[in-house]
Amino acid sequence: MSFALPTLGAGSRTPARPPLRRVLLPRRRQLLTVVVVALLVAGALRPFAHNPYIELAGETLFVGLMLLFAFNAAGQWRQDAVPRWLVQVIAIAVAAMLSPLIVQLLTFGGDFSAFLGSRGHVRGYVLVMTVAVIIGTLVALGALYSERDAQARAQALQFALEKETLQRQAADARLHLMTAQIQPHFLFNTLANVQELVESGSPRAAPVFRSLIDYLCAAMPRLSQEDATLADEERLVRAYLDLMQMRMPDRLSYRVDIDPEVALMHFPPMALLTLVENAIRHGIDPGCEAGSVEVGARRELDGSVHLWVSDTGVGLSDEAGEGTGLANLNARLAAFFGEGARVELSEHAPHGVRADIRVHMRA
């Protein structure tokens, strides 16, 4: 049987050692165990001794306390040459031999020769010493096994905590990376819209450009905002749709309906805006007729939150697949809300596309 404790990894933090005084002083549970065992041993020895029970109980209690002190003191052994558990067992054996002898010498006023001359006391010493060695060793081994088991459970709990922390940090890093990938995509689409107006000489170019500046001033800080909420996303979507409506006032109408009950839920920045951009770029823009975009969010009866973006544009094409923006959005939703959170696209009657997201609110 080995009581060598598992070796911590190179990067593990060594726990601070408690003060020596606190280690040597017995704990309440240890004291209670010693008292109970001493009283039981005294009762078991009573038929074999001439001493009254109270004297035997005093002697076995003194021996038990000495064993406990030796066990705790040897527990401070930090040398690698001999295992700590072996030093503690040896200390128990030595204390079991010395402590009954101290009791006997006190009885004879320190006269060792007089003690050796009393066969009854020598026999009593051997009896108490033998019982102390056997029971003390067994109790010590049990305590060491219990200590090793408790440390193994604590270490497993620490490893699980560190693993969870690393997984959360990795998910946050992926989320930040994907958010950074959105920035050039978002700027390219918006500037392309303004370029189109300027090149066509439209009189709406100047007001649209001013709206674009205001829009960018509001949008840029949210690109790296870590605690963005659905209310932040709603303001961004409204600003974007205002801008797009100025660009094509006769062709675009929109409606945004975010339930105030879910407005404060944390939401990855620019995620809802990506769907609105797709609705304009691939739904309304390619069409010849006027269209509308509807954006909404509400809490469902099962506690989940349902978000949607629908348009009455040209609809899904057979050649259209999951573009980079949509793949990025699905990855961001999974990193933010967990596996299973993704965008589901469907046909919107009588024509157009509907994008639905169902997620659970994050604390």
Closest CA to 330 of 322, 307, 361, 318: 322
For the chain, residues with pLDDT lower than 70 are 1-24, 166-190, 193-194, 197, 202, 204, 215, 218-226, 317-324, 362-363
- What's the pLDDT at 14? 45
Please report the sign of the dihedral spanned by the C-alpha atoms of residue 123, residue 129, residue 135, residue 141. Answer: negative
Identify the pLDDT of residue 175: 57
What is the predicted pLDDT for the residue at 8?
Answer: 36
Q: Is the peptide bond before 268 cis (omega within 30 degrees of 0)?
A: no
C-alpha to C-alpha distance for 56 and 51, rounded to whole angstroms: 6
Dist CA 142 CA 163 (whole Å): 32
Task: Give residue 12's pLDDT.
Answer: 41
Give me 17's structure tokens. Answer: 């050692």
Q: What pTM did the predictor assign?
A: 0.49
Q: What backbone torsions phi and psi does residue 148 show, to the nearest 5 degrees?
A: -65, -40
The pLDDT value given to residue 5: 37
pLDDT of amino acid 31? 86
